[in-house]
Amino acid sequence: MSASRKNVSLALVVEQGLLIDMIRGSANAWAYMAMNDVPPQVIQRVLIDPSRRRPSISAAAKAQADVIRADEQSDDTAQDDSGDSAARQRSR
């Protein structure tokens, strides 16, 4: 996060909101940021136009979001596979 930020707490909420955007989507990110009093024009700027974001998300945070997303996808795949095997068991 940039040392020149005047409102560090707001920047942290926006950063968390952007992580939520990467993992859960923009609607959830918008709700989180709005609930934490981020001005609507800031929410719109950071979610709609990524090129206008200020540099703030660390590489570690992005990597963590990628790991969480990969875990969720593997959980979804495991659930799909278990449902398929249960259907095969019933059809026998």
Residue 36: per-residue pLDDT: 96
Q: Which two tokens stand for residue 39?
A: 């001005």
Residue 53: per-residue pLDDT: 72
Q: How far apart are CA 80 and CA 59, in angstroms?
A: 32
Please check whether residues 41 and 63 belong to one and the same domain.
no
Residue 11: per-residue pLDDT: 86
Per-residue confidence in pLDDT tens, the chain, 92 aa = 444 556 788 888 998 999 999 899 999 999 999 999 999 999 999 998 877 777 665 566 667 777 777 888 887 777 766 665 555 555 55
* Type and span of the H or E element at 45: helix 40-48
Residues constituting the chain:
92
Q: Which two tokens stand for residue 12?
A: 């942290």
The sign one gets for the Cα dihedral 33, 61, 64, 21 is positive
Domain interval for residue 52: 1-57
Please check whether residues 70 and 49 belong to one and the same domain.
no
Is the pTM above the cut of 0.85? Answer: no
Please check whether residues 50 and 74 belong to one and the same domain.
no
Please check whether residues 6 and 29 belong to one and the same domain.
yes
Q: How far apart are CA 35 and CA 63, in angstroms?
A: 25
